[in-house]
Amino acid sequence: MPNSEISSLPVDEKYFDDSSSNYRAVHDSSLKDSEQFWANIAKELSWSREWDEVLEWKPPFAKWFTGGKINASFNCLDRHMDSEQKDKDAYIWEGENGDKRTITYAQLYEEVNHFASALLNLGVKKGDKIAFYMPMVPEFPVAILAATRIGATFTVVFSGFSAVALADRINDSQAKLVITSDGGFRRGKILKLKEIVDDALTKTSTVTNVIVLKRAGIEINMEENRDIWWDDAIKDTDDFVEPEQLESDHPLYILYTSGTTGKPKGVLHGTGGYLTYVYATTKWVFDIKKDDVYWCPADIGWVTGHSYFIFGPLLHGATSIMYEGAPDYPNPERLWEMIDRYNVTIFYFTPTGIRALMKHGNELPQKHDLSSLRLLGTVGEPINPAAWRWYYDVIGNKKCPIVDTWWQTETGGIMLSASPNLGLVSLKPGSATFPLPGIEADIVDEKGNSVGLGEKGFIVIKRPWPGMFMTLYNDSERYKQVYWEKFPGCYYPGDYAIRDHDGYFWLLGRADEVLNVAGHRLGTIEIEDAMVEHPAVAEAAVAGKPDEIKGESIVVFAILKKGYEPSEELRTDLFNHVRKVLGPVATPEEIHFVNMVPKTRSGKIMRRVVKAVASGTDIGDITTLEDGASVDEIKKTIDEFRQSVKS
């Protein structure tokens, strides 16, 4: 694979001194006897019965801590009730409309028990499936922890999804109960969630009850003998529900993630292994201290919300901020206002969100006191070096390390990241650094052979880890085919990566988001990073279009920073900039200036949609799209450009 011709990795730019790092020693030790390593960590949790076997590995299926029994709700709540954590804030909540609440661990424990009792009263039992379609309010984690308390398996459907998407997930999981609210707030509007649930349930047959929380105060339909208000459900319920002691591999949750074939994949996670892994990675990556105020703005509808908003922080007795609305509403300084207001110390956010706020300049964050911050993190996709430096310089005031994390819904928790808890390695803007302890990662070519430093390839994981998903729900053949057949014996995440001369890992995006330009394989992330290195560009989305000679040519959609205006001179400057940074082969065919690019509601650029528009093919499913106007804009922009070229 070509490398030096198009490499733009700033491999010699480092932050923080790694002289005191314990990382390498711990990582080496963790791989010598990985089962004992994971067993020692698992013992830090509370088990009602210890396991007989650490790992039952029948490739590609793993069962962790077999024979052991454990309960997620007990580990997140009960074990804190005899300590000073009891009176500590678990969640500090703020609604988009300014409503505020705090809930201590003792209060959370009380509410979870009452709601667990309500579930039992409705006939929900161990192994039943519960679907959630909720706004970001404190009752959301309450209900999830109540489900885990009685051994019900939950599936969260993001509250921006359509009725069809919700129905598909209810049908696939065979959920018997839906938990929702009358509505939720998003960008000053009320999302009519119950109305969408009603629509979805016309296409399902398994749901016997719907519990509805009053949040928006709007009038809704309540179907007799099926629907019940939250407050009515918890009336006259028990103060305590005995936590169900569950087998370690008992299904904790199913989370549906997009598939390239169109049908969502139901990622199934167990209990004991998953809890062990999120407990360990939360400790290593975020190094949460007693007085920390931690904020991960991810919606619970995404795996980040599961692992690092609910389970990881609660296992450690942390205080978390919970926010209901859009991060830039009613203004693009909302996040900075809240960090100032609540003295947030750890902030874990998306590169897309960082770039979106970065384009408004330094003035807005600098209006607020962000000095409480001690650690910054990124999640969701690789962060480009320019955004990394802005995050470090402006938000962290050049004193906060940045943990750039790489992982997936399927992995359950973070796989690659710096680890302040183990001692920081030197940080490089844009690199996820190294695999965490217990993770054996490699980069291989098409034949599965390890590639050298500076050579691009496919990242693979060479041994099982406790956070890994057990299978795809109701589709074990697809599980084997998608993740294990390309490189037998290795887990294949589908991502493209490179290691620099120091061995640091750089993630280059999805392997199916690689362009083949005149025989050269170029990651879309590489070109986007080069674009954003230009001082005028806040964000870029890159796609390929068919080209008779090159195979594919490069199309770029660029969002400009405040103070810059589109012009032919700027377009020419950007062509030359990319050519200089990445080489002639990576020079774009077209550069278009737009106000926004298609993104999911979790903030990721929908590159599949961008590619479809650029190449003139069918856009397909856009259920997760945040704003349809973004697609209309790039369509109009590209049509006008190509029409002008023809004329």
Residue type, 175: A
* 3-class SS string, 441-488: EEEECCCCCECCCCCEEEEEECCCCCCCCCEECCCHHHHHHHHCCCCC
Query: 111-115, 132-136, 593-597, 635-639: lowest mean pLDDT where?
Result: 635-639
Higher pLDDT, 187 or 174: 174
**What is residue 396's predicted lDDT score, i.e. its pLDDT?**
97
Contact predicate 405/432, CB 8 Å:
yes
Provide the β-strand partners of residue 499: 505
Residue type, 476: S
286's CB contacts (< 8 A; 6+ apart) are: 294, 308, 312, 346, 348, 375, 377, 403, 420, 421
**What is residue 627's predicted lDDT score, i.e. its pLDDT?**
65
As given in the structure block, the two tokens for residue 242 are 């005995």
Contact predicate 133/213, CB 8 Å:
no
Pick from 417, 189, 193, 380: nearest CA to 302: 380
Per residue in 314-362, pLDDT tens? 999 999 999 998 888 899 999 999 999 999 999 999 988 898 899 899 9
The architecture (CATH level 2) of 518-646 comes to 2-Layer Sandwich (3.30)
Contact predicate 441/27, CB 8 Å:
no
Q: Which band of pLDDT confidence, cut at 50, 70 and 90, is reported for residue 617?
A: confident
Query: Does 8 score more than 60 pLDDT?
Result: no
Q: Please, what is the average pLDDT of the chain?
A: 91
Query: Does 177 score more than 70 pLDDT?
Result: yes
Provide the β-strand partners of residue 185: 190
Query: Does 645 score more than 80 pLDDT?
Result: no
Q: Where are the domains of the chain?
A: 33-266, 518-646
**What is residue 9's predicted lDDT score, i.e. its pLDDT?**
55
Per residue in 489-540, pLDDT tens? 999 999 999 999 999 999 988 877 777 776 666 778 878 888 998 999 999 9
End-to-end CA distance of the chain: 39
pTM: 0.86
**Phi (first) and psi of residue 427, to 5 degrees:** -100, 140
In whole angstroms, what is the distance from residue 346 CA to residue 228 CA?
38
Peptide bond into 141 cis (omega under 30): no
Query: 203-207, 272-276, 423-427, 459-463: lowest mean pLDDT where?
Result: 423-427
**What is residue 1's predicted lDDT score, i.e. its pLDDT?**
34
Quote helix, strand, coil % in the chain, to nearest 5: 35, 25, 45
Q: Beta strand pairing status for 471-472 and 265-269?
A: antiparallel
Mean pLDDT of 125-134: 98
In whole angstroms, what is the distance from residue 318 CA to residue 94 CA?
17
Contact predicate 534/559, CB 8 Å:
no
Mean pLDDT of 423-427: 92
Percent of the chain scoring above 70 in pLDDT: 93
In whole angstroms, what is the distance from residue 362 CA to residue 394 CA?
7
Q: Which band of pLDDT confidence, cut at 50, 70 and 90, is reported for residue 7?
A: very low
**What is residue 625's predicted lDDT score, i.e. its pLDDT?**
63
CATH code, 33-266: 3.40.50.12780
C-alpha to C-alpha distances, 35 to 26, 142, 206, 438, 460, nearest whole angstrom: 14, 33, 40, 9, 20
Per residue in 219-236, pLDDT tens? 999 999 999 999 999 999
